[in-house]
Amino acid sequence: MELEKFELGATPLKESAMKDGKVLTLHKKPNLKYAWDNGPAIDRYLAELKKGRIIARKCNKCRRIMIPPRMFCELCWRPTDEWVYVEDTGVVNTFSICYVNWDASRIKKGDKPHLPAVIEIDGASDGMGILHVLGEVEPDKVKIGMKVKAVWKKPEEREGAITDILYFKPMRG
């Protein structure tokens, strides 16, 4: 068989087809709301963030200090053993300079791009990173391997969320 010998299905529509009413469509916005339980590991993680600290969990078998904390070690497949405070500093493992928002819309002209990064947290095991964003830095000055430190919300504004850390900023020296 050769694809060229068949008449292939699928009829392409122009972008304008819906607007012009050439194709009948139904629009719907599902109104769904969720209340997610976080479980004991992330509950404690969030509670500590509210106090301005970062906490991890240690597995005494593989000796990994894991962040975000978890009640089970996915490598050893056994419960983790203890809570360990880690630093609010780390190293940029990788980063991006992002001009689009979560829904693929573009950031407003003149607005600063998002600077998402994987940050390896000091005090956690090697390579243990979290997703966060960078701030107080020009995009073209960001480098992999850069030392960074958390910038926290004011204590009275914190709500027990990952966003209690506003961003990570470069450390001097």
Partner 1 sequence: MAYQRVAIVGAGITKFVRRAHETGKELAAQAAKMALDSCGMTMKDIESVSLGTAPDAFDGVHMKGEYLSDGSGGWRKPYMRQFVGGGTGVFAPIHGWYHVASGMFDTCLVVCSEKMSSCHPHPQGAFKTIFDHTTEQALNPTLIWIFALEMNRYMSTYGITKEEIALVSVKNKKNAMDHPAAQLPMEITVEDVLNSETLAWPVNRLDISPASDGAAAIVLASEHTAKRITDKPVWIDGVGWNLDTAYWATRDLYYPRYVEKAARMAYEMAGITEPKREIEIAEPYDPFDYKELHHMEGLLLADRGKAVEMLLDGKTQRDGDRPMCPSGGALGVGNPIAATGLMKVIEIFLQLRGEAGKRQVPGNPRCGLAQAWGDLMQVGTVVVLRR
Q: Which is nearer to Zn ion, 73 or 165 (CB)?
A: 73
Residue that is written with structure tokens 């209340």 in the block: 35
Is residue 134 a contact point for partner 1 (CB under 8 A)?
no
Q: Is 129 helix (H, G, I), strand (E, B) or coil?
A: strand
**Could you tell which of Zn ion, partner 1, none binds residue 36, using a CB distance below 5 to 8 A set by kind?**
partner 1
CB 145 within 8 A of CB 91: yes
Q: Is 167 within 8 Å of 135 (Cβ atoms)?
A: yes
Which listed residue (61, 96, 135, 153) binds partner 1 by CB under 8 A? Answer: 96
Contacts of 113 (CB under 8 A, 6+ apart): 97, 98, 99, 107, 139
> Residue 67 has which token pair?
């962040």
Closer residue to partner 1, CB minimum distance, 27 or 172: 27
Residues in the chain: 173
107 binds partner 1 (CB under 8 A): no
Member of 94, 112, 155, 171 binding partner 1 (CB under 8 A): 94
User: Angle CA(76)–CA(81)–CA(83) in degrees, nearest 5?
Assistant: 125
The interface partner of residue 74, options being partner 1, Zn ion, none and the CB cut-off 5 to 8 Å by kind, is partner 1
Contacts of 73 (CB under 8 A, 6+ apart): 59, 61, 62, 64, 66, 79, 80
Residue from 13, 18, 62, 107 in contact with Zn ion (CB under 5 A): 62
Pick the stretch among 77-85, 89-97, 150-158 that binds partner 1 (CB under 8 A).
89-97
- Candidates 11-19, 78-86, 148-156 — which segment interacts with partner 1 by CB under 8 A? 11-19
SS3 at position 77: coil
Applying CB under 8 A, the residues found at the interface with partner 1 are: 1-4, 6, 8-13, 15, 17, 23, 27-28, 30, 34, 36, 38, 42, 45-46, 66-68, 70, 74-75, 93-105, 113-114, 116-118, 127-133, 139, 144, 161-163
